[in-house]
Amino acid sequence: METRRTEQRSTPPSGWYSFAATMFILVGAVNALQGVIALFKDDYFAVTKGGLLFLDFAAWGWFWLIVGVLDVLVGFAILAARTWGRVVGVILLMLNVIVQFAFMAAFPIWSIAAIALNITIISALMKPLDGYGQARYE
């Protein structure tokens, strides 16, 4: 009887990974939309007298547009069970938590909700993916 080792990639992820990927795609689309709005209509957002922590809406517009596109790409990479998607996803989420503090004065409820959602998705991406990258013996 011969035992041979074969590398098999599991089926596309489900459960928490699908949730994380879907949230990345959804939040990425919202981030990109907010970026476009900030670029073309500075007075669209209601800002308190304290304003933003730093930079103006045009700079934040470009930032959120780029981050939004990256989020969507990472979401599709997570759905395709790509390791780089998980790694880049966790890094983007950690940075997003920090950046949300800059918008705390302009959007306090949204910023707190985004921080909570980011932490939830980080914990989802840090869970081991069952059968992913493991060798199977026949």
Query: Is residue 74, in this structure, part of any structural domain at all?
Result: yes
The predicted model scores a pTM of 0.71
Residue 84 belongs to a domain: yes
Residue 113 falls within a domain, yes or no? Answer: yes
Residue 81 lies in a domain: yes
* 76-127 tens-digit pLDDT: 999 988 889 999 999 999 988 888 887 788 788 988 998 998 899 999 888 8
Q: Residue 136 domain-assigned?
A: no
Q: How far is CA 135 from CA 3, 44, 49, 71, in A?
A: 12, 53, 58, 30
Q: Which residue has the higher pLDDT, 134 or 60?
A: 60
Asked if residues 62 and 39 have their Cβ atoms less than 8 Å apart, the reply is yes
Q: For 41-58, write each residue's pLDDT tens digit.
A: 876 665 656 555 556 777
Identify the domain containing residue 63 by its residue range: 13-127
Asked if residue 97 is part of any domain, the answer here is yes
Under 8 Å between Cβ of 9 and 136: no
Q: Kindly tell me if the per-residue pLDDT of 137 is higher than 50.
A: no
Domain count, the chain: 1
132 located within any domain: no
